[in-house]
Structure 1
Amino acid sequence: MFIAYAVVGGLLALALAASATFTLQRNDQVVASMRKVEVPDSWLPRLATLKAAGALGLVAGLWVTPLGVAAAVGVTLYFIGAVISHLRVKDHDLAPAAVLTLVAVAALVLRVLA
Structure 2
Amino acid sequence: MHAAYITVTIVAAFFAAGAAVTYLIGHDYPKAQLSMKRLPLSWMPRLGASLAAGAVGLLTGFALPIVGTLAAAGLVLYFVGALIAHLRVGSRNLLGWAIFFTTMTATLIINVLYLW
TM-score under structure 1 normalisation?
A: 0.95
How many residues are treated as equivalent by the alignment?
A: 114
Give SS of 1:106's match: helix
How do 1:1-114 and structure 2 match up within 5 A? 1-114=1-114
Please give the alpha-carbon distance, in whole angstroms, between the structure 1 residues aligned to 2:87 and 2:74. Answer: 20
The alignment partner of 1:68 has SS state of: helix
Counterpart Cα distance in 1 of 2:67 and 2:5:
13
Deviates more, 1:98-107 or 1:68-77: 98-107
Gaps of 5+ in 1: none
Runs of 4+, deviation exceeding 6 Å: none
CA contact (8 A) 1:8 1:103 kept: yes
| Residue pair 2:30, 2:44 contacting (<8 A) in 1 also | no
Structure 2: any 5+ residue segments left out of the alignment?
A: none
- Deviation digits for residues 35-74 of structure 1 (CA, Å, limit 9, x no counterpart): 1111211111000000000000001111211111100000
Tell me, yes or no, if the aligned pair for 2:23 and 2:48 is still in contact at 8 Å.
yes
Aligned equivalents of 1:2 and 1:77: distance in 2? 25
Q: Is the 1:2–1:111 Cα contact (8 Å) retained in structure 2?
A: no
Which whole-Å CA distance do the structure 2 matches of 1:33 and 1:107 have between them?
A: 25
Structure 2 residue matching 1:103: 3-state secondary structure: helix
TM-score (norm 2): 0.93
SS across alignment from 1:62: coil
Alignment RMSD, CA only?
Answer: 0.9
- How far apart, in 1, do the equivalents of 2:79 and 2:60 lie? 20
Worse-superposed segment, 71-80 or 8-17: 8-17
Q: Determine the C-alpha separation between the residues in 1 that align with 2:95 and 2:81.
A: 14
Deviation at 1:78, TM superposition (A): 0.2
Percent identity of the aligned residues?
38
